Structure 1
Amino acid sequence: METGRNYGTAGSKRRRQRRKPEQETPIWRRSLNLSRGYLVCALLLGGAGIASPIASWLITTVALVVLAVELPKLDWQGLDTRSRMAAWLIVSCMILCLLQVVPLPGRLWGGLPGHQLAAQVAEAAGGSGWHAWSLSPDRTLAALSALAPPSAALLIAARSDAQERRWILRAILIIALLSAPLAIVQLALGPNSAPMLFSSAHRGLGVGLFVNRNHFALFLLIAILIAAVPGIPGSARPAQDAKAIEWAARLAALALLALGVLSTLSRSGIFLLPVALASAVLISQRRRLSPAVVAGGAVAAVVLVLVLRVAPPVHAVLSRYATATEDLRFRYWTNTLLAARDALPLGTGFGTFTLVYPTYEPLSEVRPDVVNHAHNDVLELLLEGGVAAIALLVAWLAFVVYAAWRSRAEAGGRRDRMVPIVAALAVILTLAASLTDYPTRMHTIAVTLALLIGMLLPIPARREAGSARRMLFAGPLALLGLGVLSTQWGLQLAAIGAGGAARIVAPWSSPVQAAAANLAVLRGDRDQALKVAQRTLALAPLDPVGVRTEGLELIARGQAERGAALLSLGAPLGWRDILTQLWLAEQATAAGQDAFALQRMDAVIRQEKFGDQLLPLMPKLLRTQAGRNALAEQLSLNPGWRVAFFNQVARQPGWTMAELVDLIRHLRRAGTPMTTAESGLIRTVLAANDRFGDMRTVWHAAGQTALIGDGDFEAEKGVLSPWAPPYAWHTPALTGVRTEVAAAVTPGHGQALAVGSDGLAQGAAVQQVIALVSGTYDLTFTVSADDVMLVQQFGALLQCRRGEQTSGLPNVPVALTWSSGADGWQTARGSFTVSAECPGQALILTLPQTNGRPFSAWIDGVSIRSAPRPHA
């Protein structure tokens, strides 16, 4: 039978045995409810992240209270080596954060790596005095407050005995087991009906009590490891006849947690799932696995994989793996690495990623969503904390290895030997997940990890502390808590439009000041806007709102040169501030800098802003060579507004065909030719205005060499529309006839046009507007039908057009000859002549009329070629 875990040395065990119960119990009982309440709160609400600032504030505040209560109770002089190491590591993290907010002389600060742009902004804003090492000291202090929740959790676990630590492990497991079914239900019900605790971009997927499926998957993976610890799913000291029940509970827990991971559809989570399950199996085994058991497990795993392959969620995950190379994370990493390289060895300050990253973000990667993290915590740590932060990370990993080894060596029972392994594996899984995401920034993950690390420490002697010691900790923690509360309160006030109150509540917060500056501008309070903008730049020189607001206010006050110089620095600050981009585009347009102006317009439209106002300005650039070059350069990046731009060109006169063709040829040379979808409205407008020659010119300039479009029916799929632009197929609405592009029943034909008729309708099966020059042509197409005798009753003709007019114009009949193929398809061939009186044409393929006898047929391989001229 296993003994209880003491998690300490033999000497400390004897001291605890000598200690009278009445000396120890009151201390723990006074803080038991607070500590347990904090842990439950952090585990339940800590997955919300920035989606719920109130939950984050609540967790941080209660963590600070826990620290204020528990820290004075530690016997600091009696701490063992591991506890001292953990304490020094936490203190080192705090010291690094505090060093980053120490003011430095302006000349020294501006010369730091990665600070040059901030120094230029500070000088242009007239604030080149002393500045903190961090580019945003208020954000760095906010990052310092983020250490409170895991520090409190580590302290709670370190001060817990065997029974209390078992309660902690069970609490983590129970919350995970409650979350996993919720995630399965969320996936099953879909995005419209899924029950969600927090607003999430992953709605409709399994996120449980989190907002991010990847972070939730990691939490479940850690819970899988905990479920394998002996005595956690069952009794602490199970009797011999209770082992079967414990094993059944463990297997049920592992199965439910694994299904929860699968419901997230997280690539990283599902990739790490086999590692967690295999580790759980090895942890739960009392003896070495026999070869037969290993072989049986391998066979079961193969069968499970084969079964899961047919599950829709697994197909969805596999499709995500297939597109992994297109993941934007790879681009985030590249940009973050460039920024970190320029800021080495010191870094830019914790919490400054969102200020620094936009200055390295390429225009081609701008999206409506803001990049709030690097999706690689190691790279983000290197950027913000420099070499010192990476050294601290390595020190923490080394400490975990050392503490796990020592704790396992001192363990008295089997369960006690497994907990250090679980802690070490949890750190490994978290580190692996951190290479593609930012899980430790979720309080639930950070607290869970800190609890497991805290269990690697022996229990120190507990003793009461005097009031002086309490005040030693309570004072700084209260100040930090006040800062966290005021910042969150200020942001909430700014969100509801109370900018003045927000500034008063949180004068040290640059996000609050920036929000207040925006509100002042909207209300027309120019004096207040300038004052708040200056305060914003004093706190965070790279804040684009502060740069834009102060620059515009200086220009409005007659200091045009100084204001323009400041606003011009908004360009290297990135593409994100909409009003800055609009001002820069306006100034560049006035100066004739078309390429620069177009880039700024592109940045705004990529964020889905002001597209209706900016797109009408772009066709004017077609009139100059410089403008066309700028358009070609920007369009070659394949922005999402390419189709909208060419549609705007079609609607807006003032350009010549030579100018448009020049742009189209530029795009072809750049490897990004105009597509048929992009030229569709232009072709339609040209045809409607009887400009069939220009329509043909646009078609061929875009690289289309065929005389008709999509003759093999491979470009589109589904039911054809009654209308389509020139060089695209459409079908008139005939009662009793259905046409659809689908995969042909005969191999080798790819897609084809499927025609079904009730036998009563007669007329065009499909048609396409084209523009052939005068001359003789050969028409070819193939037909297959369920009734072979009907095939040769299909016909073809050309209907002449002038603009949208067809009446009064001659039709050009096509006499067809037929030949049979080996696969059952028959080929029609015919010649026709187009005269100058027929500038535009509609190629029409006609149906036979069968007096009410239904039939179905396929049409494919339509082509028109110039007929060779006869030799003289």
Structure 2
Amino acid sequence: MTAVQKQKRASSLVAKAWIFLGVFALLVAFTGGASRYDAIQIVPLRALSCLMLIPAIYYLSMQDLRKNWVLLSLLGGLVLHTAVQLVPLPPSIWQGLPGREVIVLLDEAVGLHDAWRPLTMTPMRTWNALGALIVPITGLLLAISLAASARVLLHLVAGLGVLNAVLGLLQVVSGRFSSLYLYEVTNRGGVVGIFANENHSGIFAACSMLVVARLAIQARADRNPKWMGIIYPGAFALILFAALVGGSRAGFAASLGAAFVSLGMFALSSKTGKKRSGVDPIRACMDRHPAITTAVPLIAVLATVSAFVFLGRASAFADLLARDSFADLRWELYPVLGEMLRTFWFVGSGFGSFEQVYRMFEPTDLLMPRYVNQAHNDWVQLLIEGGVVAGVFLVTALLWVAKAIWKLTSVPSERGTALSWIGLFAIIGGASLIDYPLRTPLFQIICVWLLLALSRDYRGQVAT
């Protein structure tokens, strides 16, 4: 293949990446925002995700697989582990697994003591979990096969962030019975955007703020048209506004953190951009006086947040200060989660099984009309459902992320980028300590694309 042919192929892939990934992003945005296994939207989501696998496989090459073997191995290992949990085991093995004692007694009482059962305690839920993996698999293979650059992937995430903010604000304006709420089980009256849960929407708002900030800094460094200098700050302000209006305490705190991390990124970019200003007097002035250019957006952010707080428009801030704000069911669950973890840490109870297995451990003082469907701590729930193998996958992924970010910090001009990645994964990891954002297909796609973008940054690969 000649150089001209390679250039034409690369240009063609860029256009196809925008088209296919854009369509897929919209599909997941409007059907993948709920974590419930019985949400009706998962039917078209998974069916259409299977169709989107066709172009992904068609454009995929062995070279693409070799370049991205780490992410593919981690996702493939998760698929294999989930499938293994569904393999029937002989009674002599299954009955000896921890946590199965009650079911063994029930089997003996009804004469099923010789029945073969899979490792998972809830086979139908684990089958559902296995089917759910088609969405992140399609998202990853599609982005890899079309050679989507980090910039393309981040623009898609930023676009989803703006869509989430706009839809969330329209939901509040149109009232709690608005048809703009996409899911039956949702936080009506709140800012949920393209999600079913306002916490997930708020956490994604914080993540998308960091992505928009990074894109703005890159646009400034690349001497893009000046009108783009309005687009990115406008998108950042819109997303921050939606996060402040929302009622999510986690989203409020994460968005404030994202705003300050963005200022740190801007300050670092000013320090490394002093020799790139060229003849543009405005950019030259900004690079010569980084303290002033950092202080202006800092004052703007503080003024905006203060106005919302003092005018009583930040309901999440009021919830944070409420006397019973930490008298939350999440904290009462920890002793139960500890007992479940001690029981299932080795082989796990099966992916998707938490809701039903929890009822075996639920104390009487936590019985209530509402039920617990997730652990509200995804780190612990992953170990409960997946056991030590899932823990190995988690540690491997964390080590890879840490290695990639550490590599970026060693390059002075990339320290702002490294800070953005630290902020992004700190927000997602912190949110997973108190909630379950990665249980939604939409957040899974966002996380997969962020990991692939980090991989592009790590290798210094530019596909556009």
Q: What amino acid is the match of 1:93?
A: L
Out of 247, 256, 261, which is 2:238 matched to?
256
Mapping of 1:841-856 within 5 angstroms? none
How far is the alpha carbon of 1:141 from its aligned partner?
A: 2.5
Deviations 1:82-121 (A, max 9, x none): 6112221112112211221222221221111111112122
Out of 49, 67, 89, which is 1:63 matched to?
49
Once the two structures are overlaid, the 10-residue window that deviates more, 217-226 or 302-311, is 302-311
1:115 maps to 2:100: yes
Contact 1:102 1:133 in 2 (8 A): yes
Contact 2:13 2:147 in 1 (8 A): no
Mapping of 1:629-648 within 5 angstroms? none
Out of 237, 247, 253, which is 1:265 matched to?
247
Which protein is richer in strand relative to its size? 1
Mapping of 1:729-768 within 5 angstroms? none
1:455 maps to 2:450: no
How far is the alpha carbon of 1:147 from its aligned partner?
A: 2.0
How far is the alpha carbon of 1:33 from its aligned partner?
A: 4.3
Mapping of 1:512-531 within 5 angstroms? none
Deviations 1:370-420 (A, max 9, x none): 211111111111111112212211211212222345578799xx7x88666
Q: What amino acid is the match of 1:328?
A: L
Aligned-partner Cα distance in 2 for 1:231–1:300: 17
1:328 maps to 2:311: no
Deviations 1:591-636 (A, max 9, x none): xxxxxxxxxxxxxxxxxxxxxxxxxxxxxxxxxxxxxxxxxxxxxx
Cα distance, 1:125–1:317 mapped onto 2, change above 3 Å: farther
Aligned residues: 440
Mapping of 1:672-821 within 5 angstroms? none
Q: 3-state DSSP class of the match of 1:53?
A: coil
Q: 3-state DSSP class of the match of 2:168?
A: helix
Deviations 1:278-322 (A, max 9, x none): 222233443137455566666656545543332223256323542
Out of 439, 442, 460, which is 2:440 matched to?
442
Indicate the residue corresponding to 2:352 in structure 1: 351
Cα distance, 1:201–1:456 mapped onto 2, change above 3 Å: closer
Aligned-partner Cα distance in 2 for 1:408–1:153: 28
Aligned-partner Cα distance in 2 for 1:440–1:405: 24
Q: What amino acid is the match of 1:344?
A: W
Q: What amino acid is the match of 2:74?
A: L
Cα distance, 1:320–1:24 mapped onto 2, change above 3 Å: closer
How far is the alpha carbon of 1:343 from its aligned partner?
A: 1.9
Cα distance, 1:194–1:102 mapped onto 2, change above 3 Å: closer
Q: What amino acid is the match of 2:61?
A: D
1:280 maps to 2:262: yes
1:158 maps to 2:144: yes
Cα distance, 1:313–1:352 mapped onto 2, change above 3 Å: same
Aligned-partner Cα distance in 2 for 1:337–1:456: 33
Which protein is richer in helix relative to its size? 2
Instruction: Report % sequence identity.
Output: 26
Indicate the residue corresponding to 1:179 in structure 2: 164
Aligned-partner Cα distance in 2 for 1:115–1:51: 24
Aligned-partner Cα distance in 1 for 2:73–2:336: 33
Indicate the residue corresponding to 1:500 in structure 2: none
How far is the alpha carbon of 1:356 from its aligned partner?
A: 0.6
Aligned-partner Cα distance in 2 for 1:357–1:457: 37
CA root-mean-square deviation:
3.4
Aligned-partner Cα distance in 1 for 2:295–2:18: 47
Aligned-partner Cα distance in 1 for 2:321–2:388: 33
Deviations 1:642-665 (A, max 9, x none): xxxxxxxxxxxxxxxxxxxxxxxx
Aligned-partner Cα distance in 1 for 2:298–2:417: 26
Contact 1:49 1:56 in 2 (8 A): no
Q: What amino acid is the match of 1:311?
A: L
Cα distance, 1:155–1:425 mapped onto 2, change above 3 Å: farther
Deviations 1:530-552 (A, max 9, x none): xxxxxxxxxxxxxxxxxxxxxxx
Q: What amino acid is the match of 1:273?
A: S
Aligned-partner Cα distance in 1 for 2:382–2:417: 28
TM-score (norm 1): 0.46
How far is the alpha carbon of 1:43 from its aligned partner?
A: 2.3
Q: What amino acid is the match of 1:276?
A: A
Aligned-partner Cα distance in 1 for 2:378–2:95: 27
Aligned-partner Cα distance in 2 for 1:399–1:263: 36
How far is the alpha carbon of 1:69 from its aligned partner?
A: 3.8
Contact 1:225 1:280 in 2 (8 A): yes
Aligned-partner Cα distance in 2 for 1:248–1:31: 25
Deviations 1:702-731 (A, max 9, x none): xxxxxxxxxxxxxxxxxxxxxxxxxxxxxx
How far is the alpha carbon of 1:276 from its aligned partner?
A: 0.7
Q: What amino acid is the match of 2:334?
A: W
Deviations 1:727-756 (A, max 9, x none): xxxxxxxxxxxxxxxxxxxxxxxxxxxxxx
Cα distance, 1:296–1:461 mapped onto 2, change above 3 Å: closer
Q: 3-state DSSP class of the match of 1:157?
A: helix
Which one scores higher on RCO, CA 8 angstroms, separation ≥ 6? 2
Specify every segment of 5 or more residues in structure 1 that has no aligned partner in the other structure, as ranges: 1-14, 463-872
Aligned-partner Cα distance in 1 for 2:299–2:455: 40
Contact 1:44 1:175 in 2 (8 A): no
Indicate the residue corresponding to 1:707 in structure 2: none
Aligned-partner Cα distance in 2 for 1:159–1:430: 26
How far is the alpha carbon of 1:124 from its aligned partner?
A: 2.0
Cα distance, 1:183–1:51 mapped onto 2, change above 3 Å: farther
How far is the alpha carbon of 1:143 from its aligned partner?
A: 1.1
How far is the alpha carbon of 1:346 from its aligned partner?
A: 1.3
Aligned-partner Cα distance in 1 for 2:431–2:390: 19
Aligned-partner Cα distance in 2 for 1:75–1:135: 39
Indicate the residue corresponding to 1:204 in structure 2: 189
Contact 2:213 2:232 in 1 (8 A): yes
Indicate the residue corresponding to 1:53 in structure 2: 39
How far is the alpha carbon of 1:365 from its aligned partner?
A: 1.6
Structure index of larger Rg = 1
How far is the alpha carbon of 1:161 from its aligned partner?
A: 4.4
